[in-house]
Amino acid sequence: MKHGWRPSFVASIVRSYYHTLSRIPNALPDKILGLTEVFNKDTNPQKVNLTVGIYRDDLGLVTNFKSVVQAQSILSADMGISGDWSYLPIAGCPEYSTSVMDFLFKESVPQAKSYLESDKISFVQSLSGTGALAIATRFLTSFISKVIWVPDPSWGNHMNIFDNNGFKEVRVYKYYKDGSIDIDGWLDQLRQAKSEFGSRYPHCILLQACCHNPTGVDPTRTQWKKALEVINELGLIPVIDMAYQGLESGDLIEDAYLLRMCLEHNWRNGLYICQSFAKNMGLYSERIGSLSVIHPMDESNTKAKADSQLKRIVRGVYSSPPSYGSRIATLVLNNPTLKAQWFEDVKKMTDRLWSVRVMLYERLKWDTLIDRTTQHGMFYYSGFSPKQVDILRRHHSIYLTQDGRISLAGINRSNIDHVAQSFLSVSRCRLA
């Protein structure tokens, strides 16, 4: 009798295999990028995409910053056809690491200089801010915490990142209510949960450094001071999402104020800073950012251990980061002329976003659009219900995310009247 695979046996394995694959459920489309796919199929010449947070100029074009274009030109001339495109180290380009840490911890946050000089900052080049959050989350859930608190509302992908990288619980804290920060509700909620903090492991808390996504509403400095005092007192671990440095005031240094305020406290389990150059350098597709972990000054050996584990996480996910974006950022940060141009580029972008708010206000008279005390950045929370958002899409070809978030950069002088008239029309609809 010959031994071998019987056809019926092979068929049963194949059927079992495909049966297993067939049980995979459909994932819901991404709440933002999925809408762009629908927008691209819309044939209405008046269609307007106000979903994705990508900066566009007043002509509706995604244009590179002058500083970045100049850096690309220099890089092309320097690299030529014989450039070194070998793998970067696991933690990233050393020149990039030095440049970003100098920018963040000497220039933007001078009180962090002592941490830098004492070698108390772990640093990893990341795949933009999303990658930094993913690395930080994997590190925290592997060794320190299993619970994180996230503002309500927050960027839709935050939940996805935290769910996929080991947090057993993602809780929401009160943040936004009736157009302003619910600071009392937020802090009372944390105080009421005090007995749970540290009972098994410390809890983390996500804080957006400025230009809150999706609301555009940030705490005042006084509110931040109060919040940080409570967060530190309760032993929570801050995870800072800093994706919009420069887009609040137009000044890159000024907008690092939350980091400066954080360093007025000692964080026993570290301070985690997830930073991105996607928005403030226009390097969206290059996915260039960083994760910094600031260790307590009185801990002697945590950094070396953290460095080893951060590298292990990166190695197991994508091995090492891409180099082109880091070379661009390094040139911009190190060349005084390019750096000055970058600061000017960011100010110009912020000024245009503010001009959009003013144009909308002139047509809609929504006071919160131009409330400089709290309203900042690329996004504005319209308060439109999901049904109103659907009407805007179906009847006016204006695309917002379902929570009513408006990406202001998608508005310009050629479409402002259509957008404003559509908003006014939908505002009159009393829909749940």
What residue ranges define each of the domains in the chain, with the CATH number in brackets?
27-65+340-430 (3.90.1150.10), 87-334 (3.40.640.10)
d(C-alpha 256, C-alpha 247), whole Å = 11
Continuous segment of H or E residues that includes residue 257: helix 257-262
| Confidence at 80, pLDDT banded by 50, 70, 90 | low
Q: What is the mean pLDDT of residues 226-232?
A: 98
pLDDT of residue 432: 42
What is residue 346's predicted lDDT score, i.e. its pLDDT?
A: 98
Is the model's pLDDT at 110 over the cut of 80?
A: yes
Average of per-residue pLDDT across 89-117: 95
pLDDT band at 6 (very low <50, low <70, confident <90, very high): low
367-387 confidence digits (pLDDT tens)? 999 999 899 999 999 999 999
pLDDT at 197 (0 to 100): 84
**pLDDT tens per residue, range 254-304:** 999 999 999 999 999 999 999 999 999 999 999 999 999 999 998 888 999
- Average per-residue pLDDT for the chain: 92
User: Mean pLDDT over residues 24-40, rounded?
Assistant: 77
User: Is 430 a residue whose pLDDT tops 80?
Assistant: no
Q: What is the pLDDT of residue 25?
A: 86
Residue 237 buriedness (CB in 10 A; 0-12 / 13-18 / 19+): buried
Q: Residue 77's pLDDT band (boundaries 50, 70, 90)? A: confident
pLDDT of residue 357 exceeding 80, the answer is: yes
Q: What is the pTM of this model?
A: 0.91
Instruction: Identify which of 268, 296, 261 has the alpha carbon closest to the alpha carbon of residue 120.
Output: 296
pLDDT (mean) for 169-191 = 95
Six-digit token string for 54:
């990508």
CA 107 – CA 315 distance, rounded (Å): 30
Confidence band of 82 (pLDDT split at 50, 70, 90): low
Per-residue pLDDT band at 5 (split at 50, 70, 90): low
The band of 172, judged by pLDDT with boundaries at 50, 70 and 90, is very high
Alpha-carbon distance of 160 to 209, in angstroms, equals 20
